Amino acid sequence: MPSSLVLMGYVRVHHFARQQASPFPLLAAMGARTSKIELGTGVVDMR
């Protein structure tokens, strides 16, 4: 893979849903296993 290629993945946040409300534990686990992709949340600040 060329070093200039950047792969990105985003995790959506589902507030008030019956599932994990915070994406950070999942992102931490994913980040511990890879150095090839950038991870982040799909949160848009609506203030």
Cβ–Cβ < 8 Å for 13, 42: yes
Distances (CA, A) of 3 to 18, 21, 33, 37: 40, 34, 19, 11
Q: What is the pLDDT of residue 12?
A: 66
pLDDT in tens for each of the 47 residues of the chain? 445 555 566 666 666 667 666 778 888 888 888 877 777 777 666 66
pTM of whole model > 0.75? Answer: no
Q: What is the pLDDT of residue 26?
A: 80
Amino acid residing at 11:
V
Positive or negative CA dihedral for 13, 17, 18, 21?
positive
Q: What is the pLDDT of residue 45?
A: 66
